[in-house]
Amino acid sequence: MKQLSEFFGNLFQAEDWPARWHCGTWTAFHGWLYICSDLALWAAYFVIPVFIIWFIKRKPNIPLPHIFWLFGVFILFSGLTHLMDAILFWWPAYRLSGLLRLLTAIVSWITVVAIYRYLPAALNLRTPVDFEKELLEHKKSELKFMVLWESAPDAKVITSSDGKILMINVQTERFFGYQRDEIIGKKVEVLIPQRYHHKHIIDRNGYAEKPKIRGMGMGMDLFGQRKDGSEFPVEISLSPVKLIGENEILIISAIRDITQQKEAEAKIKQLNENLEQLVIERTVELEIALKKEKTALSEMHENHHRLAFLTEASKTLASSLDYSITLENLVKMITPYFADWCTIDEVEENGTIKRIAASHFDPGKIKLIDEIAQKYPPHKNTRGGIYEVIRTHQSILHPIISKEFMASVTQGQEHLTKLNELGIRSAIIVPLNSRDKIYGVLTLVLSDSRRQFVEKDLEFAEELARRTTLAIENAMIYNEMENNNAELEKRVTQRTMELQLINKELESFSYSVSHDLRAPLRSIDGFSNKILKDYGRLFDEQGKDYFLRVKNASQQMGHLIDDLLKLARISRIEMNMQKINLSAIAQSISDDLIESNPERKVRFHIEQDMFAMGDPNLIQIALQNLLDNAWKYSKNQPDAMIEFGTIKNDQITYFIRDNGVGFDMKYADKLFGAFQRLHSQTEFEGTGIGLATVQRIIRRHKGTIWAESEVNKGTTFLFTL
């Protein structure tokens, strides 16, 4: 401890040793070389830590910063030892020099230990090659993102927090009608109707302050605006995204066109409104009934029984759609609970009545009721009777039936006697009607002189009649539906027979065309050949040309007849739907074309594994016509190319493309008509039936066909199945 104390006490004493100049035989050159070298090393060792500190300050996220700091301190101390070596030439403070070297050694070993400790982490640091690999993976990820981005079914828009459009996908272009370069950099309000701009800016700013994920269909009615100013309903989901190393939040919007959904909702709403209206109408009727029933319930115990009776009556009326049975059961329920005897008469189309149900509390008198109805039908002009109810659609209450009234409505003494035998003291006659239609009449009679019907009983009878009317209506509607179904089936059967007869007539016509019209054509062709062969020397060149024209015209007529028969048969052939390989069919047709015309140089590009549901024979005919057309109209092309492939969108679209002569699209509406040709017979042979045949086949497969063309640049036929 004494030596250590003396050491630090004499740390800056230099008298114990001579200056380095006086140690040895230094020359000026050697001494200053040594001094300058040490000073240069010290200066370099001082600048290097400065650069290291500057580097660390500029790169705050640099990996392993402790190593850099230790390395800087180590270099700084190493420089101080060189500075001290230069000072020793004049000031021999060797104690201070030794202390600096000790500190340098300590710092050096601390650095060594730190390097050893952090060496595994340093080995894991990425090299430039690693960065290149990461960059390649990043590019692959970016490519995958773009593929997913562009193939998304919804419109996708990325905006900045201030609403500036940064990126869109192809669906956005389709939905809104803009090209990318037209709206990139513009505010997102360009896609929103003008009347919503102010509110949207406020909402957008609020969302930017508190961003959160918002899913589709959040209960808001939103609209988009296309480039042409038209609007369409949309659903929008919002997703805030913060990129690594960026402070700004981007907003990804997914926009879905819900026009079809809204149209469906509107239809459903209309149906619901219609249903609600029907419910309201029925509810009004039920409310009337309930009001009457509530009134009855509040009056007397008897009314409670009547409500129970009405319930049972309704169950009876609803138990069967054969109202003759339900009405028979109803009149049995009415007697003797409410009336001593009752009848129900149906009003027929001619205005007369027909008895369909009758009941009496004394079963033995039912036969008497039927006898009176058959022998003494009521007169139409009788006042206060059934026909007056039918005419007025109004109920009649007879609280007390007097002898005078009985005498006025009966048809003689025998009739009066029989009625008295039944007993008639009080009566209610109620129409079974709904709106302006009357179906029948319910007659209720009391024969006990101690009872009589009152207004309350009339209300009960009318309610019973209303329920009875509903049962009759329901039964009639059901019977009408049954009759309509039977009539419809009859019409379908009749129409099927008519179509079968028409098909037989068409077959007969086709046979007639095939044989009767071909015979004279063969004669014209044959005799033309014979005249040219046997008498050709008698004609000049013009005469021979005339006969050749006759011969060619007859052959052309034969081709037209053949094509017409094929066209007619297309509509009558029974479809045999199955999975077919369109690629294989097209390849077979292309091979035949190349084999039959080896002098032609045509390149075929047929997409592999194209499958579809269809009739193989009809599809063969359609593809044969389309590929023949492409082959024919590209014959003047030295490097002809025919392509058959698909376009996969919402529905698969097939196309056959050639680089032939093409046509003017203003004549496209004539393309699929029979005998319609856009080029002369001398330029390209044909009858003008092929494309009409193709269109008919495609339509039978519930598809469509159309063409796109440009003169001298080729034609593309597109179709769906």
- Mean pLDDT, range 213-221, rounded to an integer: 70
Cα dist from 393 to 33, 321, 373, 382, 557, whole Å? 140, 25, 22, 15, 75
Distance CA 42, CA 443 (A): 133
Supply the pLDDT for residue 274. 86
* Window from 233-242, 626-635, 678-687 with minimum mean pLDDT: 678-687
Using the predicted structure, report yes or no on whether residue 685 has a pLDDT greater than 70.
no
Residues 207 and 201: their CA atoms lie apart, in Å, by 10
Catalogue all structural domains in the chain, each as residue range(s) with its CATH number.
2-123 (no CATH), 151-257 (3.30.450.20), 282-481 (3.30.450.40), 573-719 (3.30.565.10)
Alpha helices in 634-720 (DSSP H): 690-700
Contacts 24+ apart (CB under 8 A), 92-95: 92/14, 92/16, 92/17, 92/18, 92/19, 92/20, 93/11, 93/12, 93/13, 93/14, 94/16, 94/17, 95/7, 95/10, 95/11, 95/12, 95/13
602-606 and 640-648 as β-strands: parallel, antiparallel, unpaired?
parallel
Gap between the terminal Cα atoms of the chain? 105
Q: Are 254 and 237 in contact (CB under 8 A)?
A: yes
Express each pLDDT in 421-463 by its tens digit: 777 888 889 998 887 788 888 988 888 767 788 888 888 888 8
Express each pLDDT in 275-326 by its tens digit. 888 888 877 877 787 777 666 556 666 666 777 777 777 777 777 777 778 8
Q: Give the Cα separation of 355 and 343 in Å (integer).
A: 7
27-36, 406-415, 628-637: least confident range = 406-415
Which strands make up the sheet holding 155-159, listed edge to edge?
165-168, 155-159, 249-257, 231-242, 222-225
pLDDT of residue 493: 74
Name the band, by pLDDT with cuts 50, 70 and 90, for residue 678: low
Confidence of residue 245 (pLDDT cuts 50, 70, 90): low
Q: Which of 117-126, 564-573, 709-718 has the highest mean pLDDT?
A: 709-718
Is the model's pLDDT at 350 over the cut of 90? no
Q: Average of pLDDT values for 245-262?
A: 85
State if pTM tops 0.85. no
Can you tell me the mean pLDDT for 357-367? 82
Neighbours of 153 (CB within 10 A): 10
Take residue 127 and report the two structure tokens written for it: 């090299």
Kindly report which listed range (628-642, 681-695, 698-712) carries the lowest average pLDDT score. 681-695
Tokens of 317: 């009326």
Alpha helices in 125-195 (DSSP H): 128-151, 170-176, 180-183
CA distance 589 to 625: 10
More confident residue, 218 or 240: 240
The H-assigned helical ranges of 518-638 are: 518-535, 541-572, 582-596, 616-633
Residue 652: which H helix or E strand, with range? strand 652-658
Determine which helix (DSSP H) or strand (DSSP E) holds 602, and give its type and residue range.
strand 602-606
Range name among 8-17, 63-72, 111-120 with the lowest pLDDT average? 8-17
Strands 426-434 and 437-446: what pairing?
antiparallel
Tokens 């009983």 correspond to 457
What is the DSSP pairing of strand 705-710 with strand 602-606? Answer: unpaired
pLDDT of residue 504: 60
pLDDT for residue 515: 54
Dmax over CA atoms of the chain, in Å, equals: 179
DSSP assigned state of 379:
P
Query: Which residues have CB under 8 Å from 226's CB, separation 6+?
Result: 175, 176, 177, 232
- In sequence order, what are the residues at sequence separation of 6 or more whose Cβ sits closer than 8 angstroms to the Cβ of residue 8? none
Q: Looking at residue 558, what is its pLDDT?
A: 65
Own/partner pairs, 162-171, CB within 8 angstroms, 24+ separation: 162/208, 163/187, 163/188, 163/189, 163/201, 163/204, 164/188, 165/190, 166/250
Q: At residue 661, does pLDDT exceed 90?
A: no
Can you tell me which residue has the tokens 């390149």? 603
The average confidence (pLDDT) of the chain is: 80
Indicate if the pLDDT at residue 582 is higher than 90: yes
